[in-house]
């Protein structure tokens, strides 16, 4: 589940996980990803092409959650948007439980 989703590295990791047989699905904020964001649309298209279900949610003003669940055991939560800006220039936090 994420807010901004444009990172090619994250897209690649999710596609590789799917190819290994992982159960991968993505839920994103509609406004920031499906509206006029071409980078995010391209990322979502790659996921769908790899057989990964992608859902955008518009029921809220902002879907600002950032959560990854891995193998039903490990969870990552924090402020980290799945974007290059978050990775390279923002102050972000992530907790893996």
CATH code of the domain covering residue 21 = 3.30.870.10
Catalytic member of 18, 41, 64, 87? 64
* 31 tagged catalytic: no
DSSP letter at 84 equals: H
Is residue 2 domain-resident?
A: no
| 55/78 Cα distance (integer angstroms) | 20
Give me Rg for the CA atoms of the chain.
13
Q: pLDDT (tens digit, 9 = 90+) per residue, 14-59? A: 999 999 999 999 999 998 888 778 999 999 999 999 999 999 999 9
What does each C-alpha distance from 91 to 12, 35, 59, 66, 83 come to in angstroms? Answer: 23, 26, 28, 15, 13
Active site (annotated) includes residue 66: yes
Query: Does residue 65 lie within any of the structural domains?
Result: yes
Pairing verdict, β 54-57 and 67-70:
unpaired
> pLDDT value at position 50?
97
| E strand or H helix at 74 | strand 74-78
Q: Which domain holds residue 55?
A: 8-96
1, part of any domain: no
Q: Is 41 a catalytic residue?
A: no
Q: What is the pLDDT of residue 86?
A: 86
CA-closest candidate to residue 81, choices 73, 89, 69, 71: 89
Quote the pTM value.
0.85
In a domain, 42, yes or no: yes
13 domain residue, yes or no: yes
Asked whether residue 72 is domain-assigned, the answer is yes
Cα angle vertex 23, ends 71, 81, to 5°?
75
Indicate whether 35 belongs to any domain. yes
Query: Domain tally for the chain?
Result: 1
In this model, does residue 85 exceed pLDDT 90? no
Q: Is 47 a member of any domain?
A: yes
């Amino acid at each position: 589940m994420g807010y901004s989703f444009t990172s090619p590295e994250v897209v690649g990791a999710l596609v590789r996980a799917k190819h290994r047989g992982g159960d991968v699905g993505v839920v994103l904020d509609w406004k920031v990803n499906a509206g006029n964001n071409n980078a995010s649309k391209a990322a979502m298209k790659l996921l769908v092409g790899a057989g990964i279900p992608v859902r955008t949610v518009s029921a809220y003003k902002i879907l600002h959650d950032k959560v990854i669940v891995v193998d039903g055991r490990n969870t990552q939560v924090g402020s980290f948007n799945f974007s290059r800006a978050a990775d390279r220039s923002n102050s972000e936090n992530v907790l893996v439980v």
